[in-house]
């Protein structure tokens, strides 16, 4: 799978270098270079999409780290409810 990713990267470089060459021709005044430049840019777009898809597939194929599960809480015993004792708040004079 990593060879496939390297292949996509190499193809992307080739498309980019070809586009750069055609850009220089276009800047020099060659109109035909514009059509070739657009073609190389479209090739780069298609290649980058394929590269992204291959990268996603490669990433999903990698093993994942597993987390240790937290220990389960022990059962809590039920406690009987006790009513609070009311204090006598009256003041004797």
**DSSP state string for 19-43:** HHHHHHHHHTT-THHHHHHHHHHHH
64 three-state secondary structure: coil
Please give the residue that has the higher pLDDT: either 41 or 91: 41
Question: Are 57 and 15 a contacting pair, CB within 8 Å?
Answer: no
Residue 48 lies in a domain: yes
For the chain, the domain total comes to 1
Tokens of 16: 């980019």
* pTM for the structure as a whole: 0.63
Residue 90 lies in a domain: no
Residue 15 lies in a domain: yes
For 10-40, the pLDDT digits (tens) are 999 999 999 999 999 999 999 999 999 999 9
Give, rounded to a whole angstrom, the gap between the first and last alpha carbons of the chain: 93
CA–CA dist 37, 25 (Å, integer): 9
Residue 82 lies in a domain: no
Residue 43, domain extent: 2-61
Phi, psi of 60 (to 5 degrees): -70, -20
Among 2-6, 35-39, 73-77, whose mean pLDDT is lowest?
73-77
Residue 93 lies in a domain: no
Residue 72 lies in a domain: no
CA–CA dist 46, 52 (Å, integer): 10
Tokens of 1: 């799978």
Residue 29 lies in a domain: yes
Residue 69 lies in a domain: no
């Amino acid at each position: 799978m990593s060879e496939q990713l390297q292949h996509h990267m190499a193809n992307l470089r080739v498309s980019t270098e070809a586009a750069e060459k055609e850009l220089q021709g276009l800047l020099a005044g060659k109109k035909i270079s514009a059509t070739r430049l657009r073609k190389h840019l479209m090739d780069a777009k298609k290649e980058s999409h394929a590269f992204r898809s291959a990268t996603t597939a490669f990433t999903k194929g990698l093993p994942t780290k597993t987390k240790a599960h937290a220990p389960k809480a022990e059962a809590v015993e039920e406690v009987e409810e006790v009513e609070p004792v009311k204090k006598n708040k009256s003041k004797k004079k």
